[in-house]
Chain A
Amino acid sequence: MMSQYWAQIRAVIRLEMKKTFLAKRGLWVYLLAFAPALMFGAHAFDVMRTRQYQHEVIAGHPVSRNLLDSIKPGMTMDEVQVKLGDPTSRRTVTTRRRTRTWLRYTDGESQYDFTFNDDELERISVHEIASLQEDKLIFATVFQFFFVRLAIFFGCVGIFMNLFRGELIDKSLHFYLLAPIRREVLLAGKYLAGLIATVVIFTTSTALQFWLLVLPYDSASVSQYMQNGGWQHLAAYLGVTALACLGYGSVFLAAGLFFRNPLIPAGIVLVWESANLFLPAALKKISVIFYLQSLCPIVAPPDRDMNPLLALLISSAEPTPAALAVAGLFAVTAVILFFGARKARTLEINYGTD
């Protein structure tokens, strides 16, 4: 019996595959999915170009990082220049009372600005050309606030909502309902087809984004990061991506059975998910984002320096352990699919007027 169901599910997936991956109206799903990759690609390109420029600069003014770090406030301009040679740039401002001078050096990774008051080194500011540390936070922010909440969310609206609704509109759903297949099995097949498509599209994008994140950095610091939690981060991001498809997929598959207009459920769910932070703890758990949030490896900065007034409204978010979060998400998905299957069982063909 199970093997029969499985064969039927595979037949449904075969029929759905083209629609989920190559829907004519589905191009925007790809744009949405790969927009962050495009952004990180542009950033990587920019960093690499700047770095190349800096390398050309230090070819003329070779300075090592050790040497740069040996400079201490209080030194004179001459002492500095003896140690480091000519700066890559120099600026002087003379007022009635004193003369200020800035000397800029670079070792190719960071930019050092030395500020002299008259002839005495007063301040050293080091500015990394690009910082993996910083970029990781940007990545975390983009991932949580754009990729999961909007890109995957609307990608699932586009793909899963259409599994039933699209065929009701095309008036071709009856072919499925006239086959010797349980409606629950049909639902499972369609859900899996949507899941395969979204997981492939969005995890590919996540992996690509991650690769572009580390691309501009030298292999030493990349492997340093990868050995120290980097792989776990990547795995977590991929996992959250897949789980987001799983959760939002079930929501919009069911929504496609209950609603004719996709904007209504999409709007309702979007508001509900966005309000999640402010909901009482019990209600928080009836959502997808709550579990995904707890699984994200790096807490995105906006959570930390949030408006204190808003922060007050947030109910105590007891940290959920990963295993529990995954189990919770599966539970929510199962409940939604259960209601979807019940609706599918009693679904009648009513395409409106012929």
Chain B
Amino acid sequence: MSVSGQEKTGPPPIEQSLVVFDNVSRFYGEVLGVNRVTLSIPPGITSLVGPNGSGKTTLMNLMTGLVRPTRGSIRILGVTPDDPEKLFRLLGYSTQFDSFPKGLTGSQFVYSFLRLFGTSHAECEKQAWKAIERVNLVDAANRKVAGYSKGMRQRIKLAQSIAHDPRVLVLDEPLNGLDPLVRAETIALFRELAAEGRHVIVSSHILHEVDMISDQVILLSNGYVVAEGKISGVRSEISEHPMQVLIRCNKPEALAARVFEQDSVVEARLHADKGGLLIKTRDADRFYRLLNQIALNGIEIESVAPADDNVNSVYEYLIGGEESTK
């Protein structure tokens, strides 16, 4: 239909099915957005995971030409983001921006931007309603977007990004603000889209939210890709590398004794001032759960902080995310 075929000679066929970042960096003035990112993303569901400011949106904006790389190059199924005419027949992007053109209803919104493809009224109308059905928003489609709830706005954005049947979908925090039922429906839709052979690239700052559905995960921290691959691989990559945690508390010896009951804790070192200790653990998840119990038993914990950055801090952060969803 609207998907243009791969014409002429071009990059080798494998390139034609990948989203490729080749040593890409982007600085916002002095501020690092992402640095030295090299990735090849195959079809299927890929999650970009990292805390706020880790560079997820920057990577997605780079993929779609909304920002340009300071260094490096990007190809989406062999197409450069500098060529919107080609790129956006292949790709749909639902951004993190929660804003819409004024005065339009949901269906007018999806329809109007489909018209920019240059296709006929009837065709656009058909595509728009098909997409609206897919995100389950038919009932609200004739109401003004301005009156939508956060979840409905997320879904109409999703509809807008899939309406032209793109082979690559880039979705920035698409599950944010969805209730559990809609979230499940939306995840099912991602699976469907991926099963059709598309790229579905989603971002989230909660690993737990996407790890079950992802074919692969890319962990970001402070603008760097810190881990990448199948979810099981990423998990073991994290746990093989013991994590260091700094704890300040009133009875560090007692705490040390308690935490050593856990076999995943490999080391505990008291601070010279007797006001805290450093702990190395292979299973931060369990460790934090234990720590919560201990805190209930009379040891006053002043602060808990990861002692090294990168993977550990990301992991700490992600565990935090799991905690909060319990």
Contact = CB atoms under 8 A, between A and B. Distances in A.
Interface of A: 4-5, 7-8, 10-12, 14-15, 18-19, 167, 170-172, 174-183, 346, 348-351, 354
A178 B88 CA distance: 6
A133 B113 CA distance: 53
B66, B97, B102, B118, most chain A CB atoms within 10 A: B118
Nearest to A189: B116
Contacts of A176: 113, 116
Contact of A180 (B28, B88, B102): B88
17 contacts: A8-B116, A8-B117, A10-B115, A11-B118, A19-B102, A170-B102, A174-B66, A176-B113, A178-B66, A179-B113, A179-B116, A179-B117, A180-B84, A180-B117, A182-B85, A183-B84, A350-B28
Interface string B81-99: 0001111110011011101
B97 A182 contact: no
B101 A175 contact: yes
B85 A11 contact: no
B100 interface: yes
A170 B98 CA distance: 10
Tell which of B86, B97, B116 has the most Cβ of chain A within 10 Å: B116
A170 B118 CA distance: 25
B66 A349 contact: yes
A11 B112 contact: yes
B221 interface: no
B125 to A, nearest CB: 13
Contact of B84 (A15, A177, A346): A177
B133 to A, nearest CB: 21
Given A348-B67, A350-B67, A180 B116 contact: yes
A179 B88 contact: yes
A180 B89 contact: yes
Interface of B: 28, 61, 64-68, 84-89, 92-93, 95-97, 99-103, 112-113, 115-119, 160
Contacts of B89: 180
A183 B65 CA distance: 12
Which 7 pairs show the lowest CB-CB distances between chains A and B?
A11-B115, A171-B99, A180-B88, A179-B116, A7-B118, A349-B66, A4-B118
B35 to A, nearest CB: 18
Nearest to A5: B118
A18 B103 contact: yes
Given A14-B115, A19-B102, A348-B67, A174 B84 contact: no
A182 B61 contact: no
B64 A178 contact: yes
A351 B100 CA distance: 13
Contacts of B61: 349
A14 B65 CA distance: 25
Contact of A181 (B64, B68, B85, B100): B85
B67 A12 contact: no
Contacts of B97: 171-172, 174, 351, 354
Contacts of A4: 118
A20 B281 CA distance: 62
Contacts of B112: 11, 14-15
Contacts of A14: 112, 115
A179 B118 CA distance: 10
Given A178-B88, A179-B88, A181-B85, A354 B96 contact: yes
A5 to B, nearest CB: 8
Contact of B113 (A5, A175, A182, A348): A175
Contacts of A8: 116-118
Contacts of A177: 65-66, 84
Nearest to B109: A175
A19 B28 CA distance: 32
A182 B84 contact: yes
Given A174-B95, A182-B85, 9 more contacts: A7-B118, A170-B101, A171-B97, A172-B102, A174-B97, A178-B92, A180-B117, A183-B84, A351-B97
A180 B99 contact: no
Contacts of A183: 84
Given A8-B116, A171-B99, A180 B87 contact: yes
A182 B118 CA distance: 12
A182 B87 CA distance: 11
Contacts of A178: 64, 66, 84, 88, 92-93, 95
A155 B272 CA distance: 73
**Which of B68, B99, B113, B119 has most A Cβ within 10 Å?**
B99
Contacts of A167: 101
B118 to A, nearest CB: 4
Most buried by B among A14, A178, A182, A350: A178
Contacts of A179: 84, 88, 113, 116-117
A342 to B, nearest CB: 14
A22 to B, nearest CB: 9
A10 B97 CA distance: 26
A341 to B, nearest CB: 14
Nearest to B89: A180
A172 B100 contact: yes
